[in-house]
Structure 1
Amino acid sequence: MVNYTLSGTALKAVFLHSDALYLSIISLLLVSFAIFFCFFSIMMTVYFTISHLQEVPRYIFFAHLLINDTIYITLGLVSFFSSAYLIYFPMPISYMIVTISSSAFKVSPYNLAVMSLERYLAICFPLRHSGWCTRQKTILTIVAVWIIGLLPNVVDFIILCFSVQSDYFSVYCLSVRSVFIKNDAQETLRFVVHSLGFSLVGLIIVFTYIKIMLVAIKLNSGKATASKAGKTVMLHAFQLLLCMMSFSYNLIEIYLRKYLYMLPMINFYFFMCLPRFISPLIYGLRDEVFFRYMKRIMLCKTPRTFPNSDST
Structure 2
Amino acid sequence: MSNITPSKTNFTVGLQYRGILEVLLFSAPITTSCCVLLFINGTMLHILRSKAVFRETACYVLLYNLLFADTIQMVLSQLLYLLAACRIRLTYPVCGFLVMLANLTTGISPLTLVVMSLERYIAVCYPLRHASIITIRNTALAIIIVWAVSSLNVFIRLILLLNFQFEDLESLQMKDFCSNTPLLLGPMSDHYDKAYTWVIFVSAGVAVTCSYIGVMIAATSASTDKASARKVRSTLLLHLIQLGLSLSSTIHDPLVTEISKVLDRVTFLRIYSILYVSMILSPRCLSPLIYGIRDQMIRAILMYHLCCRVKL
Matched position secondary structure for 1:213: helix
- Alignment CA distance shift 1:94-1:73 (3 Å): same
Pairwise CA RMSD: 3.0
1:253 is displaced (CA, Å) by 7.2
Choose which of 177, 185, 190 in structure 2 pairs with 1:187. 190
Choose which of 255, 258, 281 in structure 2 pairs with 1:273. 281
Q: Do residues 226 (structure 1) and 229 (structure 2) align?
A: yes
Post-superposition Cα deviations, 1:125-145, rounded to whole Å, max 9, x if no partner, equal 222221221112212211211
Q: For the residues of structure 1 that align with 2:217 and 2:286, how far apart are their CA atoms?
A: 30
Corresponding residue of 1:109: 110
Q: Is the 8 A contact 1:242 1:275 kept in 2?
A: yes
Q: For the residues of structure 1 that align with 2:246 and 2:14, how far apart are their CA atoms?
A: 30
- Alignment CA distance shift 1:278-1:28 (3 Å): farther
Post-superposition Cα deviations, 1:8-48, rounded to whole Å, max 9, x if no partner, equal xxxx9995765444322201111111111121122122212
Q: Is the 8 A contact 2:91 2:173 kept in 1?
A: yes
Note the 1:138-287 alignment, pairs <5 A: 138-165=139-166, 171=172, 175-249=178-252, 250-251=254-255, 254=258, 258=263, 260-261=267-268, 262-287=270-295
Corresponding residue of 1:133: 134
1:192 is displaced (CA, Å) by 0.7
**Consecutive unaligned residues in structure 2, runs of 5 or more:** 1-12
Amino acid at match of 2:155: V
Query: Structure 2-normalised TM-score?
Result: 0.82
Corresponding residue of 2:306: 298
Corresponding residue of 1:80: 81
Amino acid at match of 1:65: L
Aligned residues: 291
Q: For the residues of structure 2 that align with 1:264 and 1:14, how far apart are their CA atoms?
A: 20
Amino acid at match of 1:284: G
- Alignment CA distance shift 1:221-1:268 (3 Å): closer
Corresponding residue of 1:31: 32
Q: Is the 8 A contact 2:95 2:179 kept in 1?
A: yes
Q: Is the 8 A contact 1:91 1:172 kept in 2?
A: yes
Q: For the residues of structure 1 that align with 2:306 and 2:19, how far apart are their CA atoms?
A: 38
Corresponding residue of 1:22: 23
Matched position secondary structure for 1:126: coil
1:235 is displaced (CA, Å) by 1.5
Q: Is the 8 A contact 1:216 1:226 kept in 2?
A: yes
Note the 1:301-312 alignment, pairs <5 A: 301=309
Q: Is the 8 A contact 1:25 1:266 kept in 2?
A: no
Identical columns (%) = 25
Corresponding residue of 1:47: 48
Q: For the residues of structure 1 that align with 2:172 and 2:246, how far apart are their CA atoms?
A: 33
- Alignment CA distance shift 1:98-1:231 (3 Å): same
1:75 is displaced (CA, Å) by 1.1
- Alignment CA distance shift 1:223-1:285 (3 Å): same
Post-superposition Cα deviations, 1:221-259, rounded to whole Å, max 9, x if no partner, equal 522222221111112112112212314534587579649
Q: For the residues of structure 2 that align with 1:274 and 1:42, how far apart are their CA atoms?
A: 19
- Alignment CA distance shift 1:230-1:13 (3 Å): farther
Q: For the residues of structure 2 that align with 1:49 and 1:243, how far apart are their CA atoms?
A: 29
Corresponding residue of 1:61: 62
Q: Is the 8 A contact 1:103 1:149 kept in 2?
A: yes
Which entry has the higher C-alpha Rg, 1 or 2?
Answer: 2
Matched position secondary structure for 1:23: helix
Q: Is the 8 A contact 2:235 2:290 kept in 1?
A: no
1:123 is displaced (CA, Å) by 1.3
Amino acid at match of 1:196: V
Deviates more, 1:56-65 or 1:171-180: 171-180
Q: Is the 8 A contact 1:253 1:263 kept in 2?
A: no
Q: Is the 8 A contact 2:27 2:82 kept in 1?
A: no
1:114 is displaced (CA, Å) by 0.7
**Consecutive unaligned residues in structure 1, runs of 5 or more:** 1-11, 304-312
